[in-house]
Amino acid sequence: ASGKTYKIASIPGDGIGKEVIPVGQRAAEAAAAKHGFSLTWTEFDWSCERYVETGQMMPDDGIAQVKEHDAIYLGAVGWPTVEDHVSLWGLLIPLRRELDLYANVRPVRLLKGVQSPLANRKPEEIDFIVVRENVEGEYSEIGGRLYRGTENEVAVQEAMFTRRGTDRIMDYAFKVAKQRKRKHVTSATKSNGIVHTMPFWDERFAAAGKRHPEIETSQYHIDILTAHFVQHPDWFDVVVGSNLFGDILSDLGPAVAGSIGIAPAANINPEGVFPSMFEPVHGSAPDIAGKGIANPVAAVWTAAIMLEHLGETEAAKTLEAAIEATLQAPETKTADLGGTANTEQSATAIIEAING
Ligand code: NAI
Ligand code: MG
């Protein structure tokens, strides 16, 4: 028992974010009580609903407000009433950039009781982590459009890779690998087709490999790498990619491990200068929002990763074990996993497993 108190900024957001974040909070509270530490929550209503009312996803001093916390716990942001690029650039991207959350981390693990869409894969065969560069690369605002609406219309967008940005994401990936059994890092590249930034990426990956000689490395072009994720998920331990390639891999990875309803993600500031942000991979799911059937497991697994990041490793393990316990029977898991439980029944089972 650390006896510590952690201040968490919670942003449920839109749609099922508002249904699953309270479950994650309950689960985290139960784990905290069991392991002797406390959590205090400040809830922020930043969302598309707020945008429709006020014209802003979050207030002007929003970033300053969340900086006062030890971590940020976010549901999902996005709703059909607001264009997706408005909600993304009005909330998630400013948070990632201004808090320098440069490592996006997605564990991909086939849990017992979940069926992979890949035939005959067993849990021990799918267990890797995708590390995505989260603040530069292909997602830049450099560029522009000319001659709109005419035959001569042009659109240009520049990718930007800095040595500092590239080196630090690779060092982070190697450090993650160091804590794992297999100690292997795979780099996603495309240095055959993209002739400036990707050869640079490869050079910096080779240099990072020299800084971490105890870690084995391999690299693949992104096209064949996506095929390997499907055909040979057992080859991977830690996979590092640029903002765009990492984005693709970090959706494909959770997909091979089963349902989007279980996949967790973290946006990390590894130096701890700013709070890191933890969010399920899934979005606001307008098609099922309000029905009380969303799978809360992604939110609970996300809470586990948050507690692990805060140093409460035992509590994180308790949450993960509780999740796995509820995935063993149809009555305690939701329909997306072939179960019969609604959100509340799944939540109750998770809490009981934590307390049990
Ligand atoms: P989505 O993840 O919300 O939904 C995709 C499909 O998965 C839907 O059929 C949905 O019902 C299902 N699903 C998702 N989470 C589930 C859960 N916990 N339990 C059971 N089923 C679940 O992705 P979509 O539809 O592309 O996006 C909807 C909105 O969410 C958009 O506005 C989008 O911009 C936003 N979004 C936000 C994200 C974020 O805040 N980080 C991430 C992805 C999307
Ligand atoms: Mg994505």
What pLDDT is stored for residue 327 in this prediction? 96
Element (H, E) at 39: strand 38-43
Domains with residue ranges and CATH for the chain: 1-115+258-356 (3.40.718.10), 118-254 (3.40.718.10)
- Which residues line ligand 1 at a C-beta cut-off of 6 Å? 16, 20, 76-79, 84, 92, 260-261, 279, 282-288, 294-295, 298, 336
What is the chain's Cα-based Rg? 20
How close is the Cα of 137 to the center of ligand 1, in Å? 25
Please report, rounded to a whole number, the percentage of residues in the chain having pLDDT higher than 70: 100
**Ligand 1 mutation pick, 20, 284, 346, max ligand atoms within 8 A of CB:** 284
The whole-number average pLDDT for the span 20-35 is 98
Q: What is the pLDDT of residues 82-103, one digit of tens each?
A: 999 999 999 998 999 999 999 9
Q: What is the pLDDT of residues 174-221, one digit of tens each?
A: 999 999 999 999 999 999 999 999 999 999 999 999 999 999 999 999
How close is the Cα of 356 to the center of ligand 2, in Å? 36
Contact call for residues 281 and 106 (beta carbons, < 8 A):
yes
Give the separation between CA 307 and CA 24, rounded to whole angstroms.
11
What pLDDT is stored for residue 1 in this prediction? 80
Helix (H, G, I), strand (E, B) or coil at 105: strand
173/250: higher pLDDT: 173
The whole-number average pLDDT for the span 267-279 is 97
Contact call for residues 315 and 37 (beta carbons, < 8 A):
yes
First vs last C-alpha separation in the chain: 18
- 264, β-bridge pairs: 280
Amino acid letter, residue 219: Q
323: left (phi over 0), alpha (psi -120 to 50) or beta: alpha
How close is the Cα of 158 to the center of ligand 2, in Å? 20
What pLDDT is stored for residue 192 in this prediction? 96
Q: Which ligand is nearest to the CA of 76?
A: 1
The whole-number average pLDDT for the span 318-327 is 97
Q: Which pLDDT band holds residue 259 (cuts at 50, 70, 90)?
A: confident
Contact call for residues 278 and 103 (beta carbons, < 8 A):
no
Please report, rounded to a whole number, the percentage of residues in the chain having pLDDT higher than 90: 95
Give the separation between CA 108 and CA 87, rounded to whole angstroms.
26
Computed over every residue of the chain, the mean pLDDT equals: 96
The whole-number average pLDDT for the span 224-248 is 97
Q: Which pLDDT band holds residue 258 (cuts at 50, 70, 90)?
A: confident
Angle 33-310-269 from CA coordinates, rounded to 5°: 155
Q: Which of 307, 317, 320, 297 is nearest to 38 (CA)?
A: 307
How close is the Cα of 202 to the center of ligand 1, in Å? 33
Q: For ligand 1, atom 44, name the residue with the nearest CA.
A: 283
What pLDDT is stored for residue 281 in this prediction? 92
Q: Which pLDDT band holds residue 141 (cuts at 50, 70, 90)?
A: confident
